Amino acid sequence: MSVVVIANPKGGVGKSTLSTQVAGYFASQGHAVMLGDADKQQSSKLWLSLRPPAARPIKTWEFDADQIAKPPKGTTHVVLDTPAGLHGRRFKDILKLADKLLVPLQPSVFDIFATRAFLDELAQNARAAKLQIGIVGMRVDARTLAAEKLKEFVQSLGLEMLGTLRDTQNYVHLAAQGLTLFDVARSRVERDLALWQPIGDWLDQA
């Protein structure tokens, strides 16, 4: 079983967008997927409730809000959306379950500053040292100076910048239908799927 945790203690960075898209990616590969939501806002769980029956199945991972248990058997890939402000014991409990950690990051000084503290905390965690950690730039125009600065920041920490996702209404419109880029005709979202290619390659690594 592969468990991918999406985490960044700062709110509004795109954790739920990234979580649902990763779950959709795994489902498009034919995997048995579960999507868990540890955030009180339950955005990912709401998204699942909107998902049409004809779409590739993604199951809900139900768990106690105060006690993160191991994912149930009968699934091959689990994605866990986490809340803003994640830290301390709860953060450590979630890391124990993870095989991969994806950190969404926007190219603003406020997001970078807030995320730096989180990444420093990760560096001091023995369990995190055993994880595959990837950074995904959210709402980024790869041609801008901001994108270049973001890449330099990530590289300075010795982490891997997997790619950047552009600011597009495709994510908004698809989310409202419980869908992802991987559920619709490629011609509709070809530009975005190209940006996802390196992220997908990383997710597929054992």
The number of CA neighbours under 13 Å toward the Cβ of 26 is 27
The two counts, helices (H) then strands (E), for the chain are: 7, 7
CATH topology of domain 2-204: Rossmann fold (3.40.50)
The full set of domain ranges for the chain reads 2-204
Chain segment 136-147, per-residue pLDDT in tens: 999 998 888 888
Position with higher pLDDT, 188 vs 84: 188
* Token pair belonging to 115: 């995320």
* Token pair belonging to 49: 């409730």
pTM for the whole thing?
Answer: 0.93
DSSP assignment, residue 56? P
The confidence score (pLDDT) of residue 189 equals 98
The SS3 assignment for 46 reads: helix
Tell me which residue has tokens 């940006």.
Answer: 195
